[in-house]
């Protein structure tokens, strides 16, 4: 199975402008989102499970992988497609053993070395960032994130696909993909958008634009 | 297998007077502790796993069940004996499905109704409380906890064993057991004791005293 990562939504109920995560995800699916990750770290395990269960049917019907942040047990209980793990979470090997070979296991990394380690440990994809700092919309704040150069280095260092995350907007997405990412992951660019469906579609178009630019560069090379 | 619950230690690294949880647990085992639960909610999943793994061998050698708070995935990864669940955690049915029939599954309850529900859902034991408020050492603060009457009502309502938890000290333990608990669970009465081994032993003696009192009462009845 090829994992499409063009547009990757990370949920956060309390950054959803008063709308439910279920409604945001429904809109994102209508807008063509490729992956949905439930990341509700401030919520109880019970609430995370209920959210995952509520998203299972609509994502499955749309063919959109449903990923759970951190909790392997919740992923299993909700019959999710996989988990996304960070430095503070369980090791990839533990998740793989409990979820099996078919599960999608993602890993957050911010360096080339960590990207290589995650690939060797069996990650199916990476979340690379923060590319930009998320706090500011200032286009010049790349210096506070890992930046596009590191995105390019990671693209050269690993074979597994990855999304750029952290401060990514439709305006910035083409640059992130041109630099080497397979797609982009966002929270607020979708969850706080006036129209999450349109925002998702625009993000997808921005990713396509980045791919065209990259193809052109590679054609020139 | 009969589950002995006389003395039940709940760990909390940041309430251990600068000592490691491993050293506290070693002392508690020397003092005859019956169950150890890893409850480090403020720590990362990775750290919780490492703590559980470090405790697996010493507890297994002592025949002391090792229980993990909340996280079924960490319990599985560390080959722990079971999990302890509260209202905010995964349902008992989910834990049972993932851990299997032999796992020990505990449930926190504070009412007779919740105790009955947990028993019906397949809990192996209960943590009942808070019996007393934990903040104060004032012996009169039972009114702020569920109190000994509710402990007695739960003892009459369910067949599974349970520990009283919340503000329990060696001084109060006999009352809690006399009221109907099978044992007592503590954090600071052991983790912050000058001598955790002696504190565990004294707690066990206090539980024995409570059992004798209850036997005498039953003999009179």
Q: Does A121 touch chain B (CB under 8 A)?
A: no
Give chain A's residues under pLDDT 70.
1, 134-143
Query: Residue B200 domain-assigned?
Result: yes
Say what the pLDDT of residue A136 is.
47
For residue A219, what is the enclosing H or E element?
helix A196-220
Q: How many contacts, defined by CB atoms under 8 Å, are there between A and B?
A: 60
Q: Which of A44, A75, A80, A90 to mutate to test the interface with B (most CBs of B within 10 A)?
A: A90
What's the mean pLDDT when you consider all of chain A?
94
How does DSSP classify residue B142? G
Percent of chain B with pLDDT over 70: 95
At residue A36, φ and ψ (nearest 5 deg) are -125, 125
* Subunit contact B45:A74, Cβ cutoff 8 A: no
CATH number at residue B141: 3.20.20.70
Q: How far does Cα B141 stand from its chain's mean position?
A: 21
CA A32 to CA A197: how far, in whole Å? 8
Query: Residue B38 domain-assigned?
Result: yes
* Subunit contact A98:B73, Cβ cutoff 8 A: yes
* CA angle (B9, B29, B49) in 5-degree steps: 60
Query: Residue B106 domain-assigned?
Result: yes
CA B127 to CA B69: how far, in whole Å? 12
Task: Say how many domains are in chain A.
Answer: 1
Query: Residue A2 domain-assigned?
Result: no
Active site residues of B: 39, 108, 137
Residues forming a β-bridge with B106: B84, B125
Say what the pLDDT of residue B143 is.
60
Interaxial angle between packed helices A21-30 and A196-220, expressed in degrees from 0 to 180 and rounded to the nearest 10: 50
Query: Residue B193 domain-assigned?
Result: yes
Say what the pLDDT of residue A36 is.
98
Q: Are B221 and B214 in contact (CB under 8 A)?
A: no
Say what the pLDDT of residue A142 is.
54
Say what the pLDDT of residue A175 is.
97
Residues forming a β-bridge with A104: A82
Strand residues in A104-168 grouped as ranges (E): 104-109, 125-129, 162-165
Q: Does B49 touch chain A (CB under 8 A)?
A: yes
CA B126 to CA B115: how far, in whole Å? 7
The tokens describing A31, both together, are 């807008």
A75-127 tens-digit pLDDT? 999 999 999 999 999 999 999 999 999 999 999 999 999 999 999 999 999 99
Say what the pLDDT of residue A144 is.
76
Tokens 């982009």 identify what position?
A184
- Candidates B77, B87, B98; nearest CB to A90: B77
Query: Residue A85 domain-assigned?
Result: yes
Q: How many CA atoms lie within 13 A of B82 on its CB side?
A: 21
Say what the pLDDT of residue B136 is.
47
Give chain B's residues under pLDDT 50.
135-137
Query: Residue B1 domain-assigned?
Result: no
CA B28 to CA A48: how far, in whole Å? 35
What range does the domain containing A131 cover?
7-220
Query: Residue A1 domain-assigned?
Result: no
The tokens describing B21, both together, are 């949880």
Q: How far does Cα A211 stand from its chain's mean position?
A: 17
């Amino acid at each position: 199975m090829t994992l499409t990562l063009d547009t990757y939504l990370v949920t956060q109920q309390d950054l959803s402008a008063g709308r439910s995560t279920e409604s945001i995800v429904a809109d994102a699916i209508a807008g063509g989102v490729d992956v949905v990750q439930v990341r509700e770290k401030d919520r109880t395990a019970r609430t995370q499970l209920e959210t995952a269960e509520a998203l299972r049917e609509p994502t499955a019907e749309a063919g959109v992988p449903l990923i759970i942040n951190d909790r392997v047990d919740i992923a299993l209980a909700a019959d999710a497609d996989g988990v996304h793990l960070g430095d503070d979470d369980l090791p990839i090997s533990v998740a793989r053993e409990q979820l099996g070979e078919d599960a999608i296991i993602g890993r957050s990394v911010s360096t080339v070395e960590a990207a290589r380690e995650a690939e060797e440990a069996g990650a199916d994809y990476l979340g690379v960032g923060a590319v930009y700092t998320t706090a500011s919309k200032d286009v010049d704040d790349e210096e506070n994130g890992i930046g596009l150069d590191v995105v390019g280095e990671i693209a050269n260092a690993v074979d597994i696909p990855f999304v750029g995350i952290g401060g990514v907007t439709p305006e910035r997405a083409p640059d992130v993909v041109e630099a080497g990412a397979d797609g982009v992951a966002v929270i607020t660019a979708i969850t706080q958008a006036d129209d999450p469906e349109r925002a998702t579609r625009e993000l997808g178009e921005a990713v396509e634009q980045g791919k065209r630019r990259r193809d052109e560069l590679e054609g020139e090379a």
